[in-house]
């Protein structure tokens, strides 16, 4: 899989394609906070033939540009994804999105309904409890982060996020990679930009096939949260993975793959 950088009005996003062309829409994979396209590595090799995948690092994450003064809001990320699809000549996609990326995917689907055919939202944030206490705290304390080394901030975030892994050793390895950009010079300011409190103004249901998937032991996305999200979206299937917490794409890629196949076959 060979990646490329796509320039979108001076902001470069890193993306790569995987799989082979087949029936149905290509699948766009959108990670959440504070991860990157690396999140999907356990899943991509086990997808069945006929899946064409497009994997992207959102601005400020992974290999994409990390400007400190960029707009990192949900709607801004969605606008960039739409521009990316336009640039690549992709008319419509199924989106698989994790964590914060689920809100970005929903924003894109609402703004450009003909561009998104299906949604598979993994461990999506619950808007009934959004922003979370952690986000509100991060927003209040962000000005103080400049007084601390970025490595210290990233280390504290590493400890907090480790709760999201059932396999702690796997979690340590993945979080080391995900948080590397935030441990470097300017990382604390970048984290502050990403964690700024923002509440999307979503209203009304979506009229497309939607599936929700979450780890049964996820400390931040409960069954009640998934049910509330399904009701807000106007209906969605809900599935939970017994031996997974928040980072389902890494801990249960086979289960996620089956959910994607099922969703792609719906309403054909």
| Domain extent listing, the chain | 3-129+201-265
* pLDDT, one tens digit for every residue, the chain (268 residues): 568 999 999 999 999 998 877 667 999 999 999 999 999 999 999 998 878 999 999 999 999 999 989 999 999 999 999 999 999 999 999 999 999 999 999 999 999 999 999 999 999 998 877 776 556 656 666 666 667 788 888 888 889 899 999 999 999 999 999 999 888 888 888 888 888 767 788 889 999 999 999 999 999 999 999 999 999 999 999 999 999 999 999 999 999 999 999 998 876 5
Q: Among the CATH numbers 3.30.1540.20, 3.40.50.300, 3.40.50.1820, 3.40.50.720, which is that of 3-129+201-265? A: 3.40.50.1820
The reported pTM is 0.94
The Cα 67–Cα 64 span in angstroms is 10
């Amino acid at each position: 899989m060979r990646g490329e950088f796509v320039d979108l009005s001076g902001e470069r996003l890193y993306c790569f394609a995987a799989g082979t062309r087949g029936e149905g829409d290509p699948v766009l994979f959108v990670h959440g906070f504070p991860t990157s396209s690396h999140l999907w590595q356990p899943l991509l090799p086990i997808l069945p033939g006929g899946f064409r995948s497009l994997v992207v690092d959102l601005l400020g994450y992974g290999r994409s540009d990390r400007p400190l003064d960029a707009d990192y809001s949900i709607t801004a990320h969605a606008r960039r994804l739409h521009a990316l699809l336009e640039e690549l000549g992709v008319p419509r996609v199924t989106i698989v999105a994790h964590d914060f990326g689920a809100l970005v995917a929903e924003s894109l689907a609402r703004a450009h309904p003909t561009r998104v055919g299906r949604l598979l939202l993994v461990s999506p944030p619950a808007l009934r409890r959004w922003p979370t206490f952690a986000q509100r705290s991060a927003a209040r304390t962000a000005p103080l982060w400049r007084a601390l080394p970025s490595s210290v901030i990233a280390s504290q975030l590493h400890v907090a996020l480790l709760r999201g892994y059932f396999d702690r050793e796997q979690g340590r390895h993945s979080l080391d990679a995900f948080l590397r950009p935030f441990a470097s010079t300017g990382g604390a300011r970048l984290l502050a930009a990403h964690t700024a409190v923002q509440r999307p103004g979503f209203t009304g249901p979506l009229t497309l096939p939607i599936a929700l998937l979450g780890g049964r032991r996820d400390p931040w996305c409960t069954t009640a949260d998934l049910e509330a999200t399904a009701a807000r979206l106007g209906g969605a299937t809900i599935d939970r993975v017994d031996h997974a917490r928040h980072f389902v794409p890494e801990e249960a890629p086979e289960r996620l793959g089956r959910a994607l196949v099922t969703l792609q076959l719906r309403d054909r």
